[in-house]
Amino acid sequence: MFGLGLSLLGIAAAGIAFRLFAAPPEEPISGRFAAYPWVEAIFMSGLFGLVGLAALLFPFVIRQASDRAASSGLSRLLGVIMALAGAAFLLFGALNYYTHIGLILNTMPK
C-alpha cells in the first residue's frame, strides 16, 4: 500500500510537471479549459495526490488498529481524505461519461 502511495504521488507530480490530463477543445465542459492545460492537470493531480497520501497513511492506521489503539486522529484524517477523494472521483467519473461521449460525437465524421 505504501508503494502504491508513492506511485500515485509520482503520477501526481508528473501530471503537474508535464501538464497531463488536459482535455481537447472538442470535449464538452472540460474542453473549455483546453487553452489552460494546467487547470485539469492540477485538478487530476490533486486527486491522485490525495489518494496517494491516503495510501501512504493506510499502513500506519492499520498498525494502530491492530494494536487496538483507540480511534486516532490519524484514522479520522485518513477517513476524511478518502471521503473527499472518493466523492471527487465519483463526480468526475460521472462527468467523464458525458464529456467523452460528447468528444466522440464532436469528432466523428459527418
Amino acid at 61: V
Q: Summarize pLDDT for 2-24 with one digit per residue, the tens.
A: 999 999 999 999 999 999 999 89
Label residue 43 by pLDDT band (50, 70, 90): very high
Cβ-based burial of 107 (10 A; exposed 0-12, middle 13-18, buried ≥19): exposed
Cα–Cα dist 3/22, whole Å: 26
Alpha-helical runs (H) found in the chain: 2-17, 37-66, 73-107
Which residue range(s) make up the domain with 40? 2-107
Phi, psi at 68, each rounded to 5°: 60, 35
Q: What pTM does this model have?
A: 0.85
Give how many domains the chain has, as a whole number: 1
